[in-house]
């Protein structure tokens, strides 16, 4: 800049003399020469000093990024960029810092700038990241005419001369990515991991299962298995050990003739489709027969071949195979309506619930039926091959698990976009403090931000400059953790101040439900958010609202409160969430600094779920409902019959796709000044994803 300034001074001083002694043409020539010279100075190559300063700021920025101090890392990356304005690596990392901060628009811009400036990394990988973030920002609908699931893998019953099981008929996914499969032909219950490897096989009672048909899980974790030929329902422990059975052969209440599919209502009553008696039998949670329904009444002509059954919001949906339709009843068995016209399905079997849809297994097709409208979408098909799909159910990784009774296989089906785009893999933290031992935290998701759970060490492949690392080991699976960190955000509006007793009860219940595990943060959301207290949940068991120092105001800054809470949670447990306590209302200026889209991105990109507790009977503000819907949370009313202590169980149940890997590095560090690259690939059946990143070893 000093050179440029001196050139302009010289040019200004020489202009009068040029007019006295030179023609106009000569003057213009001199002026253009000075302009070109000045421009060349402005765009001169960076000096060695510039590169040195940029390298130091970049190193500090990367370290701040891995500490979760994203605002600091942005400032440091920007400073490094001021020395090297077109450096593609700095541009790329600045994009990652903005992405973690929830400012996805800026992240996309910096990544695109990196691609334009002689990017030295994997261009396809970075372009895929750009496309992925753009897709997520637009959002997606679960079932549309153009959404279709295709085979991504299978658990075969017979492979060559090896026999594993026969005639799979029903499947039950688990929250950890595993699943249970009932084999009708071989009379057994099979336990598979997420990779399709059999963990164990279970035969049931002493005399074995007798043509098992369906399997469901109750709230206490126990399993129920219907046995078609045994005319009974067996109760198993949560890990598949036989406990007892109920039901006898017959036509009276509590008796069965060929039980098939099952469902539970909100009171844990058991609804069983009884094929032989052409009815639905209802048992209480202890297995005592209550009543049955299905005979002709009024407009309802009665069941001919009842099969699949599902209960949503205490409405009972029953598929009837002969007319190919689904009927609706209340939980007392009273006929309500017909959901889809007769003849919609050829031979429907199991009904399973996914959000606001019922999944219907029908010969060689899987249909999704919108509960609110009755609209029907075909979402999967086995083509023209001989098949009989008996059950289709969503798993925790965004797939469909489909049992094909005739082809003797369990198919894992994924959306075409998932197979083409692959998994989203991100290295969120690198700990090199004990170099050459390096620990990395890896996040694996699908393209809809859903975590991928159930992965093990063989599902990962870590390399340094494309060479395998030494002693790779999976040391942590966050989805198995039973500890969470929680930030309670207390709305300090004038309206919430009227509910001090309810607020006190809510905080104490949350603290008690945490059982002394994890860290609890208390943030007051006033004009400016205030961190009131943090520490063990035990410290909040005697909480009283008078402890809060922040004043009650008309316009609490909700957006700033959420940002502060995420900043505190991001370096803690991988299971983490915000619980916002308010009177249900939101002030007009509550989201002045950050919009709802940016806040939901900030929550999701850092794996923080969002829950809300309404202290009043007022309708919850749509802004809060939006955030809970976008960030894997739920809304609660303080005086709900079941209480709110289950909010911690619900938070712990939110799936997380974080994995911790440890390895030995073989790269030279140049005394801690060299940027050390590392690549991570994750595999699941026929899907994979890759991430490139880097870190610095400690300075020597």
pLDDT tens for each residue of 175-197: 999 999 999 999 999 999 999 99
Confidence check: pLDDT of 29 > 70: no
Return the structure tokens found at 137: 């920002």
- pLDDT band of 161, cuts 50, 70, 90: confident
pLDDT of residue 138: 52
Return the structure tokens found at 288: 């005592």
d(CA 179, CA 176): 9
Return the structure tokens found at 22: 């030179």
pLDDT of residue 419: 79
Which of 35-39, 63-67, 122-126 has the weakest average pLDDT? 35-39
Confidence check: pLDDT of 31 > 70: no
Which of 278-287, 321-330, 680-689 has the weakest average pLDDT? 680-689
d(CA 344, CA 650): 37
Among candidate residues 534, 571, 526, 580, the one with its CA nearest the CA of residue 553: 526
Return the structure tokens found at 540: 């909040």
State the average pLDDT over residues 3-17: 39
pLDDT of residue 265: 95
| Residue 489 and residue 503 in contact, taking contact as beta carbons nearer than 8 Å | no
| Residue 612 and residue 580 in contact, taking contact as beta carbons nearer than 8 Å | yes
Q: Residue 372 burial (CB < 10 Å; 0-12/13-18/19+)?
A: exposed
Among candidate residues 434, 388, 384, the one with its CA nearest the CA of residue 411: 388
| Residue 586 and residue 621 in contact, taking contact as beta carbons nearer than 8 Å | yes
- pLDDT band of 42, cuts 50, 70, 90: very low
d(CA 672, CA 467): 20
Edge to edge, what strands does the sheet with 520-525 contain? 530-535, 520-525, 485-491, 576-582, 608-614, 635-637
Chain centre distance of CA 183:
30
- pLDDT band of 44, cuts 50, 70, 90: low
Higher-scoring residue by pLDDT: 33, 212: 212
Q: H helices within 487-553, ranges in order?
A: 500-513
Return the structure tokens found at 613: 């507790």
Q: Which CATH architecture has domain 149-419?
A: 6 Propeller (2.120)
- pLDDT band of 547, cuts 50, 70, 90: very high
- What length does the chain have? 700
Gyration radius of the chain over CA positions: 31
Among candidate residues 131, 182, 136, 133, the one with its CA nearest the CA of residue 155: 182
Burial 521-540 (b: 16+ CB within 10 A, else e): bbbbbbeebbebbeeebeeb
- pLDDT band of 136, cuts 50, 70, 90: confident
Confidence check: pLDDT of 139 > 60: no
Return the structure tokens found at 328: 């609706």
d(CA 252, CA 97): 66
Cα-flanking dihedrals φ and ψ of residue 485, to 5°? -105, 140
d(CA 402, CA 381): 10
- Residue showing tokens 């010969």: 363
State the average pLDDT over residues 631-656: 92
State the average pLDDT over residues 580-606: 94
Q: Say which DSSP state 699 is in.
A: P
One CATH from 1.10.20.140, 3.40.50.2000, 1.10.599.10, 1.25.40.10 for 48-138: 1.25.40.10
| Residue 20 and residue 634 in contact, taking contact as beta carbons nearer than 8 Å | no
d(CA 51, CA 48): 5
State the average pLDDT over residues 525-542: 95
d(CA 637, CA 615): 6
pLDDT of residue 542: 95
| Residue 680 and residue 458 in contact, taking contact as beta carbons nearer than 8 Å | no
Higher-scoring residue by pLDDT: 162, 243: 243
| Residue 541 and residue 563 in contact, taking contact as beta carbons nearer than 8 Å | no
Domain range annotation of the chain: 48-138, 149-419, 422-469+665-695, 485-653
Q: Residue 115 burial (CB < 10 Å; 0-12/13-18/19+)?
A: middle
Q: Say which DSSP state 423 is in.
A: -
Q: Residue 514 burial (CB < 10 Å; 0-12/13-18/19+)?
A: buried
Positive or negative: CA dihedral 175, 176, 177, 181: negative
| Residue 676 and residue 669 in contact, taking contact as beta carbons nearer than 8 Å | yes
Half-sphere exposure of 401 (CA within 13 A, CB side): 28
d(CA 495, CA 560): 19
Helix (H, G, I), strand (E, B) or coil at 221: coil
Among candidate residues 578, 584, 545, the one with its CA nearest the CA of residue 563: 578
Q: What percent of the chain has pLDDT over 90?
A: 83
| Extended beta strands in 357-436, E state | 357-362, 365-370, 376-381, 389-394, 400-404, 409-415, 424-434
d(CA 298, CA 337): 11
- pLDDT band of 112, cuts 50, 70, 90: very high
Residues 6+ apart with CB under 8 A from 554: 493, 494, 587
> How do residues 428-449 score in pLDDT, each as one tens digit?
999 999 999 999 999 999 988 8
- The domain 485-653: what is its CATH number? 3.40.50.410
Mean pLDDT for all residues in the chain: 90
Q: What percent of the chain has pLDDT over 70?
A: 92
Confidence check: pLDDT of 28 > 60: no
| Residue 465 and residue 692 in contact, taking contact as beta carbons nearer than 8 Å | no
Confidence check: pLDDT of 221 > 90: yes
State the average pLDDT over residues 374-383: 92
Confidence check: pLDDT of 170 > 90: yes
d(CA 446, CA 689): 9
> How do residues 473-490 score in pLDDT, each as one tens digit?
999 999 999 999 999 999
| Residue 460 and residue 469 in contact, taking contact as beta carbons nearer than 8 Å | no
State the average pLDDT over residues 104-128: 93
- Residue 114: in which H helix or E strand, if any? helix 104-116
pLDDT of residue 30: 45
pLDDT of residue 185: 95
- Whole-model pTM? 0.87
Confidence check: pLDDT of 334 > 50: yes
Residues 6+ apart with CB under 8 A from 450: 396, 397, 398, 655
| Residue 454 and residue 397 in contact, taking contact as beta carbons nearer than 8 Å | yes
């Amino acid at each position: 800049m000093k050179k440029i300034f001196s050139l302009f001074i010289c040019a200004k001083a020489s202009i009068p003399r040029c007019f006295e002694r030179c023609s106009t043409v000569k003057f213009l020539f001199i002026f253009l020469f000075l302009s070109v010279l000045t421009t060349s100075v402005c765009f001169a190559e960076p000096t060695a000093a510039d590169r040195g300063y940029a390298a130091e700021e970049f190193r500090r920025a990367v370290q701040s990024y891995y500490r979760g101090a994203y605002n600091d890392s942005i400032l440091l990356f920007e400073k490094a960029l001021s020395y090297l304005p077109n450096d593609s690596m700095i541009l790329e990392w600045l994009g990652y810092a903005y992405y973690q901060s929830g400012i996805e628009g800026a992240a996309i811009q910096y990544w695109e700038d990196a691609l334009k400036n002689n990017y030295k990394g994997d261009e396809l990988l970075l372009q895929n990241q750009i496309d992925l973030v753009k897709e997520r920002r637009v959002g997606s609908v679960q079932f549309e005419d153009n959404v279709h699931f295709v085979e991504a893998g299978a658990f075969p019953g017979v492979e060559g001369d090896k026999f594993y099981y026969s005639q799979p008929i029903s499947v039950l996914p688990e929250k950890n990515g595993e699943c249970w499969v009932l084999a009708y032909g071989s009379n057994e219950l099979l336990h598979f991991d997420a990779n399709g490897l059999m963990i164990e096989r279970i035969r049931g009672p002493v005399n074995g299962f007798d043509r098992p048909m369906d399997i469901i899980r109750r709230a206490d974790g126990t399993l129920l298995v219907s046995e078609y030929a045994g005319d009974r329902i067996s109760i198993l422990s949560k890990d598949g050990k036989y406990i007892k059975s109920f039901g006898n052969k017959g036509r009276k209440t509590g008796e069965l003739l060929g039980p098939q599919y099952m469902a539970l209502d909100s009171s844990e009553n058991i609804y069983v489709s009884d094929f032989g008696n052409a009815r639905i039998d209802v048992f209480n949670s202890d297995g005592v027969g209550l009543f049955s329904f299905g005979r002709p009444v009024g407009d309802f002509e009665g069941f001919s071949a009842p099969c699949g059954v599902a209960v949503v919001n205490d409405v009972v949906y029953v598929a009837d195979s002969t007319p190919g339709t689904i009927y609706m009843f209340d939980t007392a068995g009273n006929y309500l309506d017909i959901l889809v016209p007769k003849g919609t399905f050829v031979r429907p079997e199991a009904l399973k619930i996914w959000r606001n849809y019922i999944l219907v297994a029908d010969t060689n097709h899987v249909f999704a039926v919108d509960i609110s409208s009755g609209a029907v979408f075909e979402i999967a098909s086995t083509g023209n091959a001989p098949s009989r799909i008996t059950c289709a159910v969503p798993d925790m990784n965004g797939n469909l698990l489909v049992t094909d009774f005739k082809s003797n296989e369990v198919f894992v089906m994924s959306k075409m976009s998932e197979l083409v785009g692959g998994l989203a893999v991100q290295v969120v933290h690198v700990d090199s403090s004990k170099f050459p031992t390096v620990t990395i935290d890896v996040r694996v998701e699908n393209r809809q931000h859903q975590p991928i759970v159930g992965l093990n060490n063989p599902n990962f492949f870590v390399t340094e400059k494309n060479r395998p690392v030494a002693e790779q080991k999976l040391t942590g699976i966050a989805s198995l953790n039973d500890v969470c960190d929680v930030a309670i955000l207390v709305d300090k509006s004038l309206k919430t101040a009227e509910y001090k007793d309810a607020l006190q009860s809510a905080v104490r219940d949350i603290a008690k439900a945490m059982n002394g595990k994890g860290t609890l943060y208390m943030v007051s959301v006033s004009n400016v958010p205030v961190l009131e207290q943090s520490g063990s949940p035990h410290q909040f068991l005697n909480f009283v609202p008078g402890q809060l120092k922040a004043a009650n105001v008309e316009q609490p800054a909700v957006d700033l409160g959420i940002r502060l809470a995420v900043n505190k949670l991001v370096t803690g447990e991988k299971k983490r969430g915000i619980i916002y306590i308010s009177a249900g209302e939101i002030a007009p200026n509550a989201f002045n600094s950050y919009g709802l889209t940016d806040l939901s991105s900030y929550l999701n990109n850092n794996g923080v779920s969002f829950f809300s507790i309404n202290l009043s009977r007022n309708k919850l503000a749509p802004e809060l409902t939006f955030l809970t819907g976008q960030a894997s949370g739920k809304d609660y009313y303080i005086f709900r019959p079941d209480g709110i202590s289950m909010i911690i169980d619900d938070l712990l149940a939110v799936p997380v796709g974080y994995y911790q890997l440890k390895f030995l590095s073989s790269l030279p560090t140049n005394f801690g000044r060299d940027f050390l690259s590392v690549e991570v690939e994750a595999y699941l059946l026929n899907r994979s994803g890759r991430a490139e990143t880097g870190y610095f070893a400690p300075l020597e």
